Each structure stands twice: as structure tokens, then as C-alpha cells.
Amino acid sequence: MIYTVTFNPCLDYVVGVDNLTLGAVNRVSTEAVMAGGKGINVSIVLKNLGHPSCALGFLAGFTGDEIAHRLQLQGVDTDFIEVSHGMSRINVKVKSNEETEINGIGPDIAPSDIEALYTKLDALTSGDILVISGSVPTALPGDIYERIMERLEGRGIRIVVDATRDLLMNVLAFHPFLIKPNNHELGDIFDVELKAREDVVPYARKLQELGARNVLVSMAGEGAVLVAENGDVIESPSPQGTVVNSVGAGDSMVAGFIAGYLESGGSYEQAFRMGVCTGSASAFSLGLAERDQVEELLTTICQ
């Protein structure tokens, strides 16, 4: 079974505004509301690709109810902890001449809520896949990634981590199955600028030396690189297409990699191709990738 953890789920309110003007009344030209959060995105795309998963995390208030409702409508299994105080956040994403985001705070998560999450994670068994991704809200301990991985260490659970800087570096000692920094995040870790695919390989190998099993580096229009635990280095340019919405593309790549890995019986080559095409399919559409979009890219571009 695949599980995802989203510590701070949200409702994304995405609006289009022609020529946003600060200090004035602006009228939206387009609007959409969707359940958001990196782990939630992974679960939605996995469902679209035909792979069930269970979304874990914390929900609160009427916004939490709406997040759960929207995921139910999309056929995503959930097992969230219901938090007593506060409400799940609303993130406003304004698309105008430039993109602007205003992100909410989230609920007050009590120690008992954290223990409830640990109890759910304790039920995972050998062969399960766990995706931990995204930022950690201030209501949680800053080392919760490490606490979870230490708790599950040695149990045969393949853990995927999509996080930045210290959140990522501090879990490498627990040998995550897959990490997915982008080239800018990888460059920030080592204080270098990485623009070409070949440039990222030695730094991805350094993360392997520190404990990561597989390192998948996304590079937007430049493509992606996988440095696999079997020693293979696999790279690809991005498929050609018009980027409509980059939100969720990285999460889609993670979901595609997992789906490709499972469908191929453990082929890193196929997992990588599926990941690249799934991330691109999301970037080329208003919503998250659907199976037919990914299949088209696999057939016409990514083989």
C-alpha cells in the first residue's frame, strides 16, 4: 500500500486577475478551488494513474471538511487526524502579470494529534511505500521527518522524501528510498548554481554518499536526472509542450515515478520515464495529470 503524509493540507483558491493592482478593487476572470498540499497532490495523481493510496495528515474546521469532501469525490482514500482547534488553511494563488501566493497558517496541532499520526504510521508493514513531503508548520516539531523515519527504520518500508534543505539533509542517515530535490534546491544545499543536467550528477551522488538510495532531480524545462542506487545515471530533456500551470508538477513526478516503479517490477528506467511524463502532463494542463495524458507523452515523446 502507498501512504502519503501532508502535515498542513489546504484549500487552494486559484484566481486569474487581469492586471492586478494593489490598493484597488480587482475582479477575478477565472477561479477554481481544489484540495492542496504536496502529499495530497501525490495521492490524487496516483489515483489518476490507477494506483490507490491513503492520504494521512491533519485537518480542522470547515475547510478541513471541504478538503476531505473533495478528496472523497476524487476517489482518494483518506485517514486524516481531525484537529480540535483552528482550521485548515486556505492558500490564495493569484495569476496575473506575475504569480502571487498568499498562504494561510493552519490549525493548532496538539501533542496528542501527533501521537495519533504516529499510531497510524506504526500500522505500516514491509513493502509499503510512504511519501513524506512539504514544509512543517510551526505547530509541529521541526524534526518530525526524522522522528517518523527513525520510528519506521528497519521495517522494510520504502520512504520517499520531497523536502528542502535541512528537512532533506537531516533524513539522509535513515536511507530514504527516493528523494526529489529540484536543481535549485540541490544547488542551495551545496552553494552552487546548477543549470545543465550533467552538472547535477556529482552533487546527486554526494547525497547518495550521505545515505539516499535514489536521487531524482527535476529541472523544469531542462528535464530531469535520476542517479539510481544500482549506479545508473538516467537523464532526459523535458517533453515539448506549453506550460499552463506548474503547481503540482513536482508532486506529479513523484507519483509517476512510484507508479512506473511498481508497474515495471522495479525498473528505474521505466520509473524515471513515467515520472518525467507525469510531471510534464500536469504542467501542460490546468489540473493534475490524468493517465491518458501521461500515456500520450510516453508513446510520442518519452520513449
CA-nearest of 263, 289, 275 to 48 is 289
Is the distance from CB of 60 to CB of 78 less than 8 angstroms? Answer: no
Read off the DSSP letter of residue 285. S
Catalytic residue among 113, 128, 162, 251: 251
Is the distance from CB of 288 to CB of 282 less than 8 angstroms? Answer: yes
Contacts of 46 (CB under 8 A, 6+ apart): 2, 52, 53, 255, 258, 259
- Please confirm, yes or no, whether 251 is among the known catalytic residues: yes
Between CA 212 and CA 188 the distance in angstroms is 17
From the CB of residue 109, how many other CB atoms can be counted at a distance below 10 Å? 25
Q: Which residues are catalytic?
A: 251
